[in-house]
Structure 1
Amino acid sequence: MEEKGEKVCEAARLGDVAGITSLIDAGYDVTYFDADGLTPLMHAAKLGHTQIIRKLIEAGAPWNALSPSSLSAGDFAMQFGHQDSFDLLLNAGVQAELILGTIARKEKENGHLNGNYLEDRVSFSEDKLMDKDSKAVMMAWEKPLMEAHAKAVCSGGGHVLNIGFGMGLVDMAIQQYNPVSHTIVEAHPDVYDRMLSNGWGEKENVKILFGRWQDVLPQLGSYDGIFFDTYGEYYEDMREFQQYLPKLLKPGGVYSFFNGLCGDNAFFHVVYCNLVSLELENLGYTTQLIPLPVKDCLAEDVWEGVRQKYWQLDTYYLPVSQYIDDSV
């Protein structure tokens, strides 16, 4: 088996289309990892052999397999500047996730997010909100991002909805725009109690709804700006929330969300940026992704005491979604 796998890797490195075709037809293993932990697809991506990539993907080579350094074939195509190969792998990833949702499922299986979050205690410090497993729910380094999100969702008009208070970073920024109404949905009892003790319940333009967004939906109205940033949920939950946008978001309104999707892998992140944009487009919304550099916010000591780095990329893509008005 090892010899057969090596032959597939060699054909992929050489860009031998006829050779790879005959090996695939003979049933050779396209999922093989060589001694360096690389698959045939990774070898082809490193060298920009687009035809080989197409053949391997059609034969079932996993687009999301990872090398020992946690790089996928798409990461190699990005790293070595092979745009055609990158585009092909990106399309393969988006199509696979639309159908299978493999990355989202892996996150769920690996416990990247905490399903019992609402039942557990959380702890607050000056620069972070942590769950009981020392995973960060929200951190102070996100403040510039939250200010940018607030600016986006407040540009649509005076009635704003935020799903998920956390440390209150986005809500403090929203208040700077003096919205007519500012509705906050928060489900964690500790966070809710802290909100009240910090006076959020006494602000004239603020309405707090305690509970999961799924449970308070009947109490929601329609809004000029909506921001979504929950913890302990998965991509499927955000996808479900977005199905309600036509009812919740006024014409001309702005929707945004914390774009932490696959924040530890550059290529997977691009796949999910494209995936969510496509799914929002299917609902009638156009999505602009605004690049914000975050490298300077992420000194190594930022993660001190945090069990898992939920963000490891140099650029954050801030999503701004609005209804597509065909009459314009």
Structure 2
Amino acid sequence: MYGRERPGPRKVLLTGWFSFREGEATAGDVLALRRVEEVLRGAGMAYDVVWSPGFRPKALHFDDVRPGDYSHLVFVCGPLHGPQVEELHRRFAHCVRIAVGTSVIDPDGAAVTGFHRVLARDAPGTAPSEDLAARAPDAPARPVVGVILTDGQREYGEQSRHGQVAQGVTRWLAGKDCARLELETRLGTHDWHLSVTPAQVQSVLARLDLVVTDRLDGLVLALRVGTPVLAVDPVAGGAKVTAQARACGWPALLAAEGLDARRLDRWWDWCLTSGRVAARQVRDAFREGRVADGADRLVEVLATRG
């Protein structure tokens, strides 16, 4: 404990690394904050949260805060170090300052000693405690969406709309409440980001709720494991993605010229509802070989011309 504590918070300001303009917000930080908010609400204590303008532009920022409105400042999660934390002690010198769920690297550093109390999750010479995120309130699961896009395929020349499609799709996806995974169907043995075998790619796709893609590979490989696909053909007039969707009997397809949020939303909703069953039906059709493919015809050609 450092300094003298004052009883009975009038109003608490919740801060953390998610509050600084040059800071960052991690999922763990925000869940830790949610745990602290839950406890304060349960105790009937008034509080505000200050956010980085780079993360939440419309929220309360330090530039908006009037320090005199608060009796207590609570710093949530992350390491206690550096000039940004030290500045809090100067600006909120009149407040009781408490750090909770934090890591203490240097117990004698000004960032640490400026707090009246430090309820650390880990600190030299003390037993560690659970991270605050561990008991944060649960939230409903969000769809897990694989995103497989290409920047361009030169063989289509002036018909290529790959850049515009990728920009439109990613801008739209940024506004969807989902977990996004950027994926690649290219294989490689010298880059750990890439899968080495098709089985590795398929293992990821099979665990997704949805794939959004402008690639033929993305369309076929996702349907092969029964995962619904929202496909966009990035070539003006339609090319191999459109042809393959037709061959597979897959309806969730948009043309580059018809790309807009309304159409994307419509197929998004379909893929996450009826599309789940439809994707499994396509998968089963693949497995049963209901329609002859090029390999089947190849055998016929070889047999007649061998």
Please state which structure has a larger fraction of its residues in helix: 1
Rg larger in 1 or in 2? 2
TM-score, normalising length: structure 2: 0.32
TM-score, normalising length: structure 1: 0.30
